[in-house]
Structure 1
Amino acid sequence: MSAHSSHAPSGAKLARLTVGAIGVVYGDIGTSPLYTLKTCLTAHGNLPINAANILGILSLIFWAIMVVVSVKYVIVIMRADNRGEGGILALMALALRDIEPRSRKAYILMGLGIFGASLFYGDGIITPAISVLSAFEGISVISHTLDPYILPLTIAVIIGLFVIQSHGTASVGKLFGPIMVFWFFVLAVMGINSIIKAPEVLWAINPMHAIDFMVAYPWRGFVVMGAVVLSVTGGEALYADMGHFGMKSIRIAWFSLVLPSLALCYFGQGALLLHNPAAIKNPFFLLAPQWALAPLVVLAAAATVIASQAVISGAFSMTNQAIQLGYCPRMDIDHTSDQEIGQIYVPQINWFLLVAVIVLVLTFRTSDNLAAAYGLSVCGTMVMTTLLAFNVLARTASKQRRYLMRALLVVFLGVDLLFLSSNMLKLPDGGWFPLVIGMIAFTFMTTWKRGRVLLGERLREGELPLQGFVESLESSPPQRVEGTAIFMTTSMDSVPHALLHNLKHNKVLHESVVFLTIRTADIPFVARRERVVVRKLGESFYQVISTYGFKEEPSVPSILKQVEELQPALDFDPMQTSFFLSRETIVEGKYPAMTWWRRRLFSLMTRNATRATNYFRIPPNRVVEMGMQVEL
């Protein structure tokens, strides 16, 4: 079920979607109680563990969750959906709709979207590291003699997690929902059991405790906000996964189970600290009775693996969207499920993430140290999402509602910038890591986009108009040979270079010629009836235009099958059909349009991109590639 479906789900289906959403969408935010409160109280100068400070920080955490997750994401931002799909690239595509492509506003919106997506990769590296590591640190509560096993166990689980990605998550995914439902139930029970012993902790719901804390510790309170943000990481995930589960199921899951369980767990940890300040060494695991510690470590490890899985799958989906929207070179993409279009595996991204996560774990070694690096990329993405979403919402709102949108924008953006500025203080202690990953990804994505635009301009220089060229070929044709030639081209109104090279060198023309253009729309999915358009340009010339959504993958065999249905005169016999593609080599021009390092980077990315035959699923033994040099 996707949110773009026009039919509301039945009760049973909605229940299944809600459980699925709990398993996938809320894994990240659901494991934040493992480390958030402890980090708030210890990571910035060891605040005194007294009632005022405990209530103040609990109030900050509670209201951060309410404002950022409940109101901003669950109620407001999810309204800015691209035909049911969420996520920052889907949002960027929506924001760019009906805007002049070369305008200043378009470049700004594009920059916001690409940078927010780039920072997501930094989050995709840190989340598995801090989540799994914090779970296994629970064994030190059982016995410090087990401390030497924390890092090896963490790395072993992380390696196993990434190795199984190629097998798909369909079978494992069925377990995610029930396990996470049980996880949240355990959080709530542990919290309630502790709150009963110190019910005064519930006064933290009063926001005055947060205000009093910020007044008492103005500078330290500002610094602590960099740790408070750990409680809302995962807000981006629920928006990005909206298309998989639907807005309704995500909202039901949040308000009925996830939010109450998180609040109870945080208040439970606070209640524990009120009557036992020494529990600050690990307030989460010390909520459990001694007999439950070992099972809780196992359950926490499972929950963190699920949280990590959601982020890894998100990185795969983000990469696929970036490829379709033209911000990333083609990569090998494997479908791991015959039923779910969103379950994909991208080997290059998978192994890059694995190496980066292991390096991160070995470098920082503890979840406290990793918390210093965590949050900056999340806050950056939150700021970009807020700006893009309100650009979309304000455009579609009535005049009266527009003022409300602007007021909400000021509030949400103010909170986001407060979190971001506080996290900037983490730069020397590890915050630079996700920022560097984000900047590298941003450089790659912008270089690829700019290079493809320039390459397209160079290829269009001196091109011949298609219609006139077809008429001249039919009036005085060269030698015709049996079969069908399919020329893949990005231009719909000019002659493909591969055709010109073929005529120049081989001096023959097939009896049927098809010009095939594959485009990506700014919507996630395109209905099959709208996917293919066939135009007859002459007696033996045809133009095929196929349009896919940015969450779909093009397949040439599927396109040709649909063309045969629409145009019975065309028969794509595999033994009689040849595909002609252009393969460009980038060389330095007399007046370079790109700096030398960007040109070399673009050339390297071009050479290492997945071959068009693999990406478009073209039979490789039926392909002829025509090489050409292009100056940039």
Structure 2
Amino acid sequence: MIDLESGKKGSSILLTLNLAFKSIGIIYGDIGTAPLIVYTGIFSDPPTDPQDVFGALSLIVWALTIVVLVKYVFIVLRADDNGEGGTFALYSLLSRHSGLSVRGNVNFDDDLTISKHNSENVNSEDDLTSTKHDSISTNDSQESPNFIKRSIVVQNILLAVVLFGSSLVMSDGLLTPPISVISAVEGIAVPAPSSTPAIVPISCVILFVLFLSQQFGTGKVGSLFSPIIFLWFIAITSIGIWNISQFPEIFKAYNPYYAFNYFARRKDAGFTDLGGIFLAVTGSEALFADLGHFNREAIQISFPFLVYIPLILVYTGQAARLILDPTLIANTFWLTTPSEPGIYWLVFILAVLATIISSQAMISATFSIIYQSMQLDCFPRVKVVHTSDKVEGQIYIPEVNYILMVLVIIICVIFQHSKNMVVAYGVAVAFVMTITTVLLTIVIFVVWRLPIIVSIIFFCIYFTVDASFLGAILRKVASGGWLTLCIAILLTIMMRIWRWGTVRVIRHERSRIFELNKIFKGEKDFSNDNNIENAFHGITLENSNEIILGNGNENVSTDNDIHLSRSPGIGLFYSDIGAKIPLSFTQFVKHFPIMPQNIIFINIQTVAEPKVGDYDRLEVKKVNICEGIYQVTVRYGYSEQVSQGKEFLLQLIELIRKIDPTNKNLTHDFNFEDGFVTYVVGQQSLCSKPNSPWWVKILVSIYMFIYFNTRKFYSNWGLPVESTVVVGVNIPI
């Protein structure tokens, strides 16, 4: 047993180290290629006073230390939500620990953010229907409601802030790839000025290939990219040391005195220059958003040892050369790179490859954010492909990938030069970093339950830092920063409308869901009035060939009941929201005079494991008070494709026959060709009332436009088209 545990621990360490190395090629490309543009972004003109260079370097060093190393790597990464990072993860974390459902603010036991299925105790065939299912529910609330739970206003503000923050990260993802790639390709123009017209076409081709490679998955891309970024960090470390050797006194800039002196001397101009300093830490938020692609330990190993030191040395080396020759500010990185052809072109190739990889950080972050937003009903359904059996967060979203590709190439063509993009770059990230600080301040108190003084100290320190960067960055809005802000605002509006409509659909469906024992009453003794009133509360099974549907009122008479005949066959009713009895069922029986002899309610769950074994796939429960009615939970791993075709149905029939031998309607050789299997799914549509306000009508129109142009929850389940019935429900608003 000890050897087994030791082996597992050793395997876990090796996996973490492997992820740590792979993380270099995915999440550090952005922050790792920032040396290409930082000093050019700080100084618009050559610095005439060496104290300015000392001050700028001091600010860069302490920004990397305080913001990235301390805040993000060792504090923010601890605020993950089941391994996922980003603003949506913080929102989900706060919601669960405040006793709020992330779906429509309605608490249900089946509303899960993560499910883990344990089948170790399955020892016989009888255990197939009684396996062990552990879950983390959204009801992880504190004993007494906190200020989030008590205030609807706070909940709405929190959601709005999170949506805006996530939209900002995605909008920033449109600028990171073009500015990174173009800034590297521009290096070709230093030794060969005649090649300048080719910079944009070459950049577009590189980006096109990058986006096409996303289909192979983050893990495979990271395996390819990590050695390249590792060589890039070795290269900039070597260049930094070479530059430092020409002016070793530059190490004095590590003294924070020079940072304070910078502001004292430059005053307002020094505050404005913070916008350029901020470029050195812009990859921080992607580092957090990409957490799901790796894990916390991997990042906490890779950044301090493989990223932080090379960055400090390369910035120090560039500052040393700027003191000796301020004119190098025109293109600091390339003009401080050794000019020997062999070295220069090797660095150029590595720079181009590294900037391609830096684009990967924001692409992966965008995928993660959209996936998280879908889980929280804040984004329309898109196809999500899990590309790893080991890491759940490694995903690929085809539609989003190609939309990003087109928009990024358009931005390349419009802006032409990296210097034109620098003025617009960083606005979104500065907002997000500030939002992260605010949310984490609440997490420290609400989730980690540390003394409130700890939250206050954290907030005072980091909000001051983030607000300073944000204030400086906002001066870029008129010069081009408006682009990312406009995109973020549009995304926020779209996500808010989708959330608004989806919440109303969920609430409507859940408010009309009955428990099985309230719908199916079984045969009753109608000798007294009380039994008559209770018997027809829902649907009453009168005999094997007929059921009676009541109108749901407490005092219902048999005159209002709907008599439904039962016919041979199987009816499978699917729930979109994890409910036990889907609304599509109650709507179906109101409009059709025939019910199948076998009614199966199916709830599909995705668990936090890559694959689910055959023993754990199905959980079937017989509704004992009625013949031929079953409740089924189907579990799939996150890397598996949901399949509900003929093979699944055969497996389901065999399991039902084992737990219910009295059912003679389901035979081993059940005939699928006669059309006796009906798959019933629901489709809820919002519609505005005639007297609804004009703004409600606009919101409903926009929501329904998005709804009809997005994927349905059953799109890729393999349901036979000819046997699928869509039951529509209009929900008046």
Normalising by structure 2, what TM-score? 0.78
Match of 2:708 in 1: 607
Structure 1 residues 561, 219: CA separation in 2 closer, same or farther (over 3 Å shift)?
A: farther
Match of 2:518 in 1: 468
Structure 1 residues 242, 343: CA separation in 2 closer, same or farther (over 3 Å shift)?
A: closer
Match of 1:279 in 2: 328
Structure 1 residue 68: deviation in Å? 0.5
Given that 2:84 and 2:393 are in contact with CA atoms closer than 8 Å, whether structure 1 keeps it comes out as no
What is the identity, as a one-letter code, of the residue corresponding to 2:541?
E
Matches within 5 A, 1:149-298: 149-290=198-339, 291=341, 292-298=343-349
Deviations 1:100-128 (A, max 9, x none): 54533332322222221111111110110
**SS in structure 2 of the partner of residue 586 of structure 1:** strand
Match of 1:3 in 2: none
Deviations 1:446-479 (A, max 9, x none): 1111101222344566666653332334224233
Distance between the aligned counterparts of 1:170 and 1:238, measured in 2? 16
Structure 1 residue 244: deviation in Å? 3.3
Higher helix share: 1
What is the identity, as a one-letter code, of the residue corresponding to 1:446?
R
Distance between the aligned counterparts of 1:172 and 1:246, measured in 2? 17
Structure 1 residues 530, 47: CA separation in 2 closer, same or farther (over 3 Å shift)?
A: farther
Given that 1:330 and 1:615 are in contact with CA atoms closer than 8 Å, whether structure 2 keeps it comes out as no
Structure 1 residue 564: deviation in Å? 7.3
Structure 1 residue 618: deviation in Å? 3.9
**SS in structure 2 of the partner of residue 374 of structure 1:** coil
**SS in structure 2 of the partner of residue 515 of structure 1:** strand
**SS in structure 2 of the partner of residue 284 of structure 1:** helix
Match of 1:62 in 2: 61
Match of 1:137 in 2: 186
Given that 1:142 and 1:294 are in contact with CA atoms closer than 8 Å, whether structure 2 keeps it comes out as no
**SS in structure 2 of the partner of residue 516 of structure 1:** strand
Given that 1:23 and 1:306 are in contact with CA atoms closer than 8 Å, whether structure 2 keeps it comes out as yes
Structure 1 residues 298, 623: CA separation in 2 closer, same or farther (over 3 Å shift)?
A: same
Given that 1:191 and 1:287 are in contact with CA atoms closer than 8 Å, whether structure 2 keeps it comes out as no
Given that 2:385 and 2:639 are in contact with CA atoms closer than 8 Å, whether structure 1 keeps it comes out as no
Match of 1:503 in 2: 589
Structure 1 residue 325: deviation in Å? 1.7
Aligned residues between the structures: 621
What is the identity, as a one-letter code, of the residue corresponding to 1:470?
F
Matches within 5 A, 1:191-590: 191-290=240-339, 291=341, 292-336=343-387, 341-397=392-448, 402-459=452-509, 466-471=516-521, 472-475=539-542, 476-477=546-547, 478-490=564-576, 496-518=582-604, 534-537=620-623, 538-545=626-633, 555=642, 557=644, 568-569=658-659, 575=672, 577-590=677-690
Structure 1 residues 620, 420: CA separation in 2 closer, same or farther (over 3 Å shift)?
A: farther
Structure 1 residue 323: deviation in Å? 1.3
Structure 1 residue 552: deviation in Å? 7.4
Structure 1 residue 7: deviation in Å? 5.2
Q: Percent identity?
A: 32
Q: Which runs of 5+ in 2 are unaligned?
A: 1-7, 106-151, 522-538, 548-563, 661-665
Given that 1:90 and 1:524 are in contact with CA atoms closer than 8 Å, whether structure 2 keeps it comes out as no
Q: Which has the larger radius of gyration?
A: 2
Distance between the aligned counterparts of 1:364 and 1:434, measured in 2? 14
What is the identity, as a one-letter code, of the residue corresponding to 2:424?
A
Give the CA RMSD over aligned residues: 3.1
**SS in structure 2 of the partner of residue 380 of structure 1:** helix
Q: Which moved more, 1:98-107 or 1:480-489?
A: 98-107
What is the identity, as a one-letter code, of the residue corresponding to 1:76?
I
Given that 2:292 and 2:368 are in contact with CA atoms closer than 8 Å, whether structure 1 keeps it comes out as no
- Alignment match of 1:39 (pick from 17, 38, 41): 41
What is the identity, as a one-letter code, of the residue corresponding to 2:428?
S
What is the identity, as a one-letter code, of the residue corresponding to 1:288?
T
Q: Which moved more, 1:493-502 or 1:568-577?
A: 568-577
Distance between the aligned counterparts of 1:181 and 1:565, measured in 2? 54
Deviations 1:497-542 (A, max 9, x none): 4334433444211222122345689x99999899976543333222
Normalising by structure 1, what TM-score? 0.90
Given that 2:233 and 2:307 are in contact with CA atoms closer than 8 Å, whether structure 1 keeps it comes out as yes
What is the identity, as a one-letter code, of the residue corresponding to 2:477?
L
Distance between the aligned counterparts of 2:692 and 2:393, measured in 1? 40
Given that 2:46 and 2:329 are in contact with CA atoms closer than 8 Å, whether structure 1 keeps it comes out as no
What is the identity, as a one-letter code, of the residue corresponding to 2:161?
L
- Alignment match of 1:22 (pick from 24, 34, 40): 24
Given that 1:120 and 1:381 are in contact with CA atoms closer than 8 Å, whether structure 2 keeps it comes out as yes
Distance between the aligned counterparts of 1:165 and 1:592, measured in 2? 45
Structure 1 residues 507, 92: CA separation in 2 closer, same or farther (over 3 Å shift)?
A: same
Structure 1 residue 434: deviation in Å? 1.0
Structure 1 residues 302, 492: CA separation in 2 closer, same or farther (over 3 Å shift)?
A: closer
- Alignment match of 2:697 (pick from 596, 615, 620): 596
Distance between the aligned counterparts of 1:385 and 1:532, measured in 2? 40
Given that 1:373 and 1:434 are in contact with CA atoms closer than 8 Å, whether structure 2 keeps it comes out as yes
